[in-house]
Each structure stands twice: as C-alpha cells, then as structure tokens.
C-alpha cells in the first residue's frame, strides 16, 4: 500500500476533514480521501476499493505522525494535531465499514483489505505498535481495551502501548514517593494473572519478586473507581475522590512559560444532529511550572459523581468536540487555594447537583469567582453573564448553534441597553410568555427528577411558581454556551510584573 506519511495538512484542514466525517457518520454520504486533495466531494459511483485505498492513505499518514516523536516532546498544539489526525482517520474507516458493509462482505479481497486497515487504525490509536490482531490473541486484554476505551484514553494522556517481542504490554503506574512522578512498568499481558474476588476481577503481576495488583475491573472489564489511566499508566487513583488530587498528565511547561495557569473552558459536542448545539460542558485545567496538568470538572446530573479529576470529557476523542477556553496566569498561592478547594470538594458528603442552578457551568463560574481577582476576570460579573433564560436552554437543543449564538447576543444587548423594568416587561409578550411558562414548568419537573445528591437528599432547581408566572426573568440557568461566549472575548490574562 502506498505510504502517505508525507501528506502535510494543517490543524484547520484536519478539523474540516473531521466535520466532513461527521457528515459521513450521519449516514448520508462518504467523502473520498486522496493524498493530493484531502477529502473531496462524494461520488456514489466510486467503487468501495477506492474508498478503502483512500482510508489506507489517511491511516498510514496518521500512523506516521504518531511514530515521529514522543507525544510528551510535542507542544500542546502539535499534540492535539496528532491526536485529532488519528481520530479523523480512525472514524473515516469506520464510516466506510458501516456504509459499504454489503459490498465489503461480498468481496473476500476487500474483506482482507478492511481487516488490514483495521489493524493500522488500532495501531495508530494505541501509539503505533499494538494492533487488532495482537489484541485478538489475548481476549482479556481486548475486553479491557474496549470496556475502558483505551484506544481513545491513551491518546488523551500521551501514553502508548508497547510490546515485548510479540506480546503486548500494559503500562502500570507505580508510585515513587510524595511529590515524585510515578514510574511506568510495562507488564507483558501473558505475565498477568486474573482472579475473581466477589464481583471484581483482580489482575496481578510480579515486580521484584513480589506480587502486585495491576488493576481491578468489574465483570465487563471496566476499571473500578479506584483506578484511572494517567500519563504514567494505569494508576491506583480514584478520579471521583477518596484521596488528594494528583496530576494525570505531564507536558512540556515551556508551552505556558513555566507559569501557573488556570484555563477555564467549554467543550462543545460535534455532529450534524440537534446534539451539535445542545451538548456543552464547562471544565477547567490547571498547569504548573513543572509540567503537571490537572483537568477538573463537575459531574452528577446523570451519574452523581460530583467533582472529578481528570474530567472524563477530555478523555474522549478530540475530534468529537470543539473547545473554547481562555488562558489566565495565576499565582502560586492561588494555585494552592484552588487545589485545596478541589480536594475538599472531592471528599464532600452530600454534594448536590441539578440541571439548572448546580451544574458543571455553575461549578466553573463559582471556582473562578472565588479564586480569581476582578482584574483576572476582566472586571466582568461572570456569574451574571453566564446565566441564560429558559427558552435559550430549550432552544440550544432544538435550534442550530449559530442561530442560538445570535439569540444570546441580542438578549445580552437588550439586557444591557434597555431599562431593567422594560426588559422585564418583554418577558410577558405572547407567544414568548406562553412557551416560557410551559418550558419552565417542564424543567422544574425534570430538575426534581434528575437532581442528585450523594447523601440522598434532593437539591431541586430554584424555580418558584411565583417566578414562573409573574417574574419569568428570574427563571434562569447557568449556560455553558454563555460562558463560551465570554471566553472567546477574553483569551488570555497576564499577571502584572510586580506580582
């Protein structure tokens, strides 16, 4: 197969290809990839073999990029480019496999070619060494990879699978002491032993002649809460709480001038469905002068996890979401205060969430307000700016993202340009008032149903019936989309030289 490692595509072009693959996944069409032109317009007359050839070119280019250098030697932009390139190539092959299934199934030659491409795709995802064929030889390993989506997670934390001879190795993180980075032990999977202990599967290996627990899973192969994948391997670390927060990744701190940084962000789901405009999640990253990275987010609306680190969203394929963030330099004291606050929250009993007033965005806003100065916030009231109305929330699920951004801008202009009493009166204009009232009542019912607390007590949204009918401007929610608008306008903040 022709190698395409010389193909040079910018990150913007890769992301454009990602949007085209989004359309492919919608089942409407498949774009054709060539090394000369990138992905071009679809043509129904193109034989499946030509599509597979194009997938092979793209996958080989992706694998070549993975093999160039260690992820940890790349700056953040270059790392994301490699990660997204591999994601797009992997998903492009999936599209062809799904949409041309009948043609491939009826042709043994194309079946063999598809299997070879799937090996290349998995090799790229796992770091360029271990393939599908390698996984198939070890069913337990294959189950663990699939159950924990390791082919995505390893990319997110800059980690690779290696091999010892022909045997794949699992990277295990071993603590080295307080403040020191863990060491990585690559354990050949044929040296792992598995035992059943209650409803858990316990995997062990020998290190220095002593039996050690590598990790534990449930019967489906998913890691138990005590284990998390980090840049040093599978670590005995509970991302949901239970111990002091630890970095999950190490990068070159030259990318942020060896400073302490807080990077609040909004992650938007991608795709051509209504979910394109609906899915958004607020989170933040902490960076240290030594290269440690912490990614923190609040969860709980659908699972009740409270504050988690690392944030699960950033472990997804990067081509599945778009990120809007801002870069704020903080002092060492601010970093320690934020870290202490997160550790306290991770141990907090009775942590409560709801979809309206205690969600991922309100958590992000509260942390920024509590720990940043007015100058770092640009003199703006982010608490006020992050709140949206009920119709805006509903519209984010039903209407296109560009239209909803225009609606938010108009609403902000009206709110700032009109006298407050006049702005409030506009809420009673029909049919706005009718829809607003209906959706507010539905959200109140939904919020009571979906509210979660770790101690079993409910924290329903503060939607009062008096507000619903007589003060509709008070029925608001914390909107990640509004936070995203705020971050677009404020990309960076530098501390004064005297600090």
Reported as a single tens digit per residue, the pLDDT across 77-130 is: 777 778 888 888 888 888 888 888 888 888 899 899 989 999 988 988 888 889
Tokens 């963030």 locate to 325
348 or 149, which is more confident: 149
pLDDT band at 360 (very low <50, low <70, confident <90, very high): confident
CB atoms within 10 A of CB 377: 18
The mean per-residue pLDDT over the stretch 215-237 comes to 93
Q: Which pLDDT score is estimated for 446?
A: 62
| Length of the chain measured in residues | 499
Q: Is 80 exceeded by the pLDDT of residue 73?
A: no
Question: Residue 331 above 70 pLDDT?
Answer: yes
What percentage of the chain has pLDDT greater than the value 90? 24
Residue-level pLDDT at 148: 93
DSSP secondary structure, 23-54, as one string = HHHTTS--PEEETTTEEE---TTS-HHHHHHH
Record the tokens describing residue 139, joined without a space. Answer: 């069913």
Amino acid 467: pLDDT: 77
Between 202 and 490, the more confident residue is 202
The most confident of 155-164, 326-335, 428-437, by mean pLDDT: 326-335
Q: What is the pLDDT of residue 449?
A: 47
pLDDT for 329 = 94
* Dihedral of alpha carbons 148, 151, 155, 159, sign: positive
Q: Which residue has the higher pLDDT, 322 or 340?
A: 340
Q: What angle do CA 97, 100, 105 make, to 5 degrees?
A: 80
- For the chain, the average pLDDT equals 80
| Two tokens, residue 317 | 């394929």
pLDDT of residue 448: 54
Q: Residue 307 has which token pair?
A: 């504050």
Residue bearing tokens 């599509």: 51
Distance CA 366, CA 372 (A): 10
Give the tokens for residue 341: 């606050």
Contact 475, 355 (CB under 8 A): no
Every domain of the chain and the residues it spans: 11-125, 134-150+157-237, 250-493
CB atoms within 10 A of CB 8: 7
Smallest Cα–Cα separation from 338: which of 406, 282, 263?
Answer: 263
Q: What confidence tier does 2 reach under pLDDT thresholds 50, 70, 90?
A: very low
pLDDT band with cut points at 50, 70 and 90 for residue 275? very low
> What per-residue confidence (pLDDT) applies to 272?
42
* pLDDT score recorded for residue 66: 79
Compute the distance between CA of residue 123 and CA of residue 126 in angstroms, rounded to an integer: 5
Question: What is the rounded distance in angstroms from the CA atom of residue 219 to the CA atom of residue 53?
Answer: 39
Residues 194 and 85: their CA atoms lie apart, in Å, by 36
Which pLDDT value is given to residue 63? 81
Query: Containing H/E element for 14?
Result: helix 11-25
Specify which of 55-69, 233-247, 266-280 reaches the highest per-range mean pLDDT.
233-247
- Comparing 390 with 118, the larger pLDDT belongs to 118
Give Cα separations from 475 to 256, 412, 448 (angstroms). 40, 16, 15
> Which residues pair with residue 187 across a beta bridge?
170
Distance CA 243, CA 31 (A): 48
pTM of the model: 0.82
State the pLDDT confidence band at 452, using cuts at 50, 70 and 90: very low
pLDDT at 349: 60
Single out the residue of 453, 479, 462 nearest to residue 282, CA to CA: 479
Residues 6+ apart with CB under 8 A from 108: none
Both structure tokens of 212: 């050690």
Q: What is the pLDDT of residue 4?
A: 39
> What are the pLDDT digits (tens) for 8-66?
667 777 777 787 787 777 776 777 776 655 566 666 677 888 888 888 888 888 887 77
Show Cβ contacts of residue 129 under 8 Å, excluding neighbours closer than 6 positions.
123, 160, 161, 162, 163, 168
In this prediction, residue 9 carries a pLDDT of 65
**How does pLDDT run across 395-431, given as a tens digit for each residue?**
666 666 667 667 767 776 776 667 778 877 777 878 7
Residue with more model confidence, 494 or 52: 52
For residues 320 and 288, the model is more confident at 288
DSSP 8-state symbol, 266: E
């Amino acid at each position: 197969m022709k190698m395409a490692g010389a193909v040079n595509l910018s990150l913007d072009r890769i992301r454009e290809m990602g949007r085209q693959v989004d359309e492919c996944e919608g089942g409407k069409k498949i774009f054709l990839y060539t090394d000369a032109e990138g992905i071009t317009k679809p043509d129904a007359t193109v034989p499946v073999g030509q599509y597979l050839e194009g997938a092979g070119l793209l996958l080989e280019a992706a694998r070549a990029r993975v093999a160039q250098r260690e992820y940890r030697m790349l700056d953040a932009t270059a790392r994301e480019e490699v990660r997204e390139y591999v994601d797009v190539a992997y998903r492009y092959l999936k599209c062809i496999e799904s949409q041309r299934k009948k043609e491939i199934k009826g042709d043994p030659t194309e079946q063999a070619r598809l299997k070879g491409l799937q090996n290349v795709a998995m090799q790229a995802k796992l770091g360029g060494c271990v393939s599908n064929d390698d996984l198939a030889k070890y069913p337990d390993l294959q189950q663990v990879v699939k159950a924990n989506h390791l082919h995505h997670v390893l990319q997110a934390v800059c980690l690779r699978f290696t091999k010892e001879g022909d045997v794949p190795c699992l990277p295990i993180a071993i603590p080295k002491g307080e403040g020191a980075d863990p060491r990585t032990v690559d354990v050949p999977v044929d040296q792992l032993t598995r035992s059943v202990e209650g409803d858990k599967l316990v995997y062990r290996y020998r290190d220095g002649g002593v039996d050690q627990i590598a990790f534990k899973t449930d019967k489906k192969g998913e890691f138990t809460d005590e284990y998390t994948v980090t840049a040093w391997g599978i670590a005995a670390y509970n991302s949901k709480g239970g111990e002091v927060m630890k970095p999950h990744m190490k990068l070159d701190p030259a990318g942020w001038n060896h400073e302490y940084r807080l990077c609040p962000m909004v992650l938007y789901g991608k795709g051509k469905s209504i979910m394109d405009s609906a899915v958004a999640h607020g989170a933040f990253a902490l960076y240290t002068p030594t290269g440690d990275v912490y990614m923190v987010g609040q969860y709980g609306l659908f699972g009740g996890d409270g504050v988690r680190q690392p944030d699960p969203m950033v472990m997804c394929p990067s081509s599945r979401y778009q990120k809007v963030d801002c870069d704020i330099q903080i002092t060492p004291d601010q970093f320690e205060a934020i870290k202490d606050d997160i550790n306290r929250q991770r141990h907090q009993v009775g942590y409560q969430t709801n979809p309206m007033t205690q969600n991922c965005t309100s958590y992000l806003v509260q942390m920024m307000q509590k720990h940043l100065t007015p100058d770092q916030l640009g003199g703006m009231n982010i608490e006020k700016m992050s709140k949206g109305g009920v119709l805006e929330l509903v519209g984010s699920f039903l209407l296109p993202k560009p239209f909803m951004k225009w609606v938010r801008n108009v609403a902000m202009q009206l709110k700032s340009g009109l006298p407050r009493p006049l702005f409030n009166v506009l809420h009673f204009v029909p049919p706005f008032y009718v829809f607003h009232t209906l959706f507010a009542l539905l959200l109140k019912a939904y919020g009571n149903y979906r509210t979660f607390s770790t101690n079993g007590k409910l924290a329903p949204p503060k939607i009062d019936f008096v507000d619903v009918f007589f003060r509709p401007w008070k029925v608001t929610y914390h909107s990640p989309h509004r936070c995203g608008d705020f971050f677009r306008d404020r990309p960076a903040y530098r501390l004064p030289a005297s600090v």
